[in-house]
Structure 1
Amino acid sequence: MQAPLVDTVPGRYWHRLDDGRIQCDVCPRYCKLAEGQRGLCFVRARQNDQMVLTTWGRSSGFCIDPVEKKPLNHFLPGSPVLSFGTAGCNLTCKFCQNHEISKARQMDAVGSLATPDMIVQTAKQWGCSSVAFTYNDPVIFLEYAVDVAKACRAAGIKTIAVTAGYIGKDARAEFFRHMDAANVDLKGFTEAFYHKLCSAHLDDVLETLIYLKRETGVWFELTNLVIPGENDSDGEFDAMTRWIMANLGPDEPVHFSAFHPDWKMMDTPQTPAQTLIRAREIALKNGLRYVYVGNVHDHAASSTYCHNCHTRLIGRDWYELSDWKLDAHGNCTECGIACAGVFGPKPGQWGRKRQPVRLSAARQ
């Protein structure tokens, strides 16, 4: 069988160093490469004396998910989203729950040909309101993600970035200019956590969050994967949510999600549901209005409530919507107060289905 085509395109955001190497400036890792070397992300490389992206138009597979799975609870609730990723990552998280993709070091992990036009046509065929870059971080395939986002926007389809927010200053301006929504993984709230488990720096992520809030119109929500013994103290929950309140405001949705043993942390126990409830209570006490738990079944703590009259605005049973008490403008039907987010005139009906799809039909 013939090997799938590898699409290599010129990369952006790099410069030459005096010692003859070139430096990648897409993320704060700033990999410095000699000819033939790849960055830590694996997909950005130096070839023919320039930076290139080696996975343009290549995907590890496509699936239609409920948008709540990203997770986004305030962005077109109930709608289907066409989700895909490529390979590689610019972080080294020892707890990665998509490590088969994000840590892949073989191009056969991204064997599916997926041009922007094919992605748009497939999203249309399945009635998807949006396309999500997920499973691995789209920051590392910026050029490809931007090309897909441009094609989607021209077709009236939204784009979502599921990202750790570890991106350089100039690159993030272009990247987020083309995104409609994002879920940013705020992995912990100490430099020690980021250094020990992710080989990264907390301040760079916080900088991205402040940028998103102050400089863009991107709707974004935060996810904190709670890992027993690593980032699950009351003090850390308190410091994190106080920072969010002060810098991003009370309307910033936060998802506290349960860890399950994976990759290099198989000996770490699963997060108790009560830990997530405790984190949620601390966040609510600190003034945040929309706080959720994830990866556990908790109808009450997964639902959205009016911050004024406390009416349950959107009920969620896993990813299935139940209650819907928002008017066509996203206001509470009981008291008229707006719920923060991006809402359609009525909820989507996709439910909790997860539908793998092939893009070959898009060629017809």
Structure 2
Amino acid sequence: MKTVCRACMHQCSLKPEQRGICKARKNEGGKIICENYGQVTSLSLDPIEKKPLKMFRQGSQILSVGSYGCNLRCPFCQNHEISMAFKRNDSQTVETVFISPQALAEEAKKCARSMENIGVAFTYNEPLVGWEYVRDTAKLVKDMGMVNVLVTNGTASREVLEEILPYVDAMNIDLKAFTGETYQKYGGDLESVKEFIVRSAGSCHVELTTLIVPGENDAAKEMEEEARWIASVEESVGRKLPLHVTRFFPRYHMRDREATEVQRVYELAKKAREYLSYVFVGNC
């Protein structure tokens, strides 16, 4: 008997023992389980600016944690070694260490005392394919007086978003393109991401990132449409949304093209500034 996973827009209908597109969620005995719960692939104390967040707790350090799995298939993924990893029978294609929510929160508190850490950032892979771990850990982090940051592709379902929003202080959301066709190529849905951004921006600090990939999303018209839409969101939620316009480097399945020209990144950032107050250039 199939069971529907409602974690994201894919709504995977899974047979017993079958995993979803994200490779992190599974039908086990008729119940969808979070198979990557607490399975940590990466743990590092990072500057908050690396998330990237430019207008939230500048100069701070934050304990960054990631697992494995993602519900998109971006051919330029910078973390494909873990985002595209999954379990094969009883073995995994990436090494993990189990860290419980309590243990992670306590480690964050320890780093707060010794290295002025401000909290936990859920990042590296797509955190919300394992949203239960994000929720459970974030609650504890909040209770300890620290902050939670989410770095996400913004494709989680509204149900999942409402579960985690009370505990999230800031997000960086990838806005990978501004056409439905491009999102379909990556296995996503632009309208779902736009809805996610609007709801999140009404609840916490949100910054957006668009990676400029040659031949994919580097048209001035597309950037203009994106910036105009972000400006309309700013007006509706009553707060500014910083946009990071970043340079692509050949990665994963996109090693067939050159890095984005620096001048092009600056040109698109300039176009975005016609509508937005805070536009930052990255990877240049």
Which among 45, 66, 71 is matched to residue 52 of structure 2? 71
Partner of 1:117: 102
Q: Given that residues 86 and 136 in structure 1 are in contact (C-alpha distance below 8 angstroms), is that contact kept between their aligned partners in structure 2?
A: yes
Hey, what's the Cα distance between the residues in 1 that align with 2:279 and 2:55?
11
Would you say 1:293 and 2:281 are equivalent positions?
yes
Q: Given that residues 42 and 124 in structure 2 are in contact (C-alpha distance below 8 angstroms), is that contact kept between their aligned partners in structure 1?
A: no
Q: Given that residues 61 and 110 in structure 1 are in contact (C-alpha distance below 8 angstroms), is that contact kept between their aligned partners in structure 2?
A: no
Hey, what's the Cα distance between the residues in 2 that align with 1:274 and 1:100?
30
Moved over 3 A (4+): none
Would you say 1:175 and 2:164 are equivalent positions?
yes
Residues 179-188 or 98-107, more deviating: 98-107
Partner of 2:209: 223
Partner of 1:29: 10
Would you say 1:275 and 2:268 are equivalent positions?
no
Greater per-residue helix proportion: 2
Residues 230-239 or 121-130, more deviating: 121-130
Partner of 2:77: 96
Deviation at 1:43, TM superposition (A): 1.1
State the AA in 2 paired with 1:266.
Answer: R
Identity over aligned pairs, percent:
36
1:141 aligned counterpart, secondary structure: helix
Partner of 2:148: 159
1:129 aligned counterpart, secondary structure: strand
State the AA in 2 paired with 1:228.
Answer: P
Which among 266, 285, 296 is matched to residue 255 of structure 2? 266
Partner of 1:39: 20
Q: Which aligned pairs between 1:297-312 and structure 2 lie closer than 5 A?
A: none
Q: Given that residues 247 and 283 in structure 2 are in contact (C-alpha distance below 8 angstroms), is that contact kept between their aligned partners in structure 1?
A: yes
User: Which structure's CA Rg is the greater one?
Assistant: 1
Would you say 1:84 and 2:72 are equivalent positions?
no
Q: Which aligned pairs between 1:168-247 and structure 2 lie closer than 5 A?
A: 168-196=157-185, 198-214=186-202, 216=203, 218-247=204-233
Deviation at 1:252, TM superposition (A): 1.0
Deviation at 1:167, TM superposition (A): 1.1
- Compute the TM-score of the two structures, normalised by the length of structure 2: 0.93
Deviation at 1:173, TM superposition (A): 0.8
Q: Given that residues 99 and 263 in structure 1 are in contact (C-alpha distance below 8 angstroms), is that contact kept between their aligned partners in structure 2?
A: yes
Hey, what's the Cα distance between the residues in 2 that align with 1:84 and 1:35?
30
Q: Given that residues 87 and 110 in structure 1 are in contact (C-alpha distance below 8 angstroms), is that contact kept between their aligned partners in structure 2?
A: no
- Compute the TM-score of the two structures, normalised by the length of structure 1: 0.73
Q: Given that residues 76 and 253 in structure 2 are in contact (C-alpha distance below 8 angstroms), is that contact kept between their aligned partners in structure 1?
A: yes
Partner of 1:50: 31
User: How many residue pairs align between the two structures?
Assistant: 273
Deviation at 1:108, TM superposition (A): 5.6
State the AA in 1 paired with 2:279.
Answer: V
Deviation at 1:283, TM superposition (A): 1.3
Would you say 1:149 and 2:112 are equivalent positions?
no
* Structure 1: gaps spanning 5 or more residues: 1-19, 297-364
Deviation at 1:110, TM superposition (A): 4.6
Hey, what's the Cα distance between the residues in 2 that align with 1:289 and 1:130?
28
Deviation at 1:61, TM superposition (A): 2.1
Hey, what's the Cα distance between the residues in 1 that align with 2:221 and 2:34?
41
Deviation at 1:54, TM superposition (A): 1.0
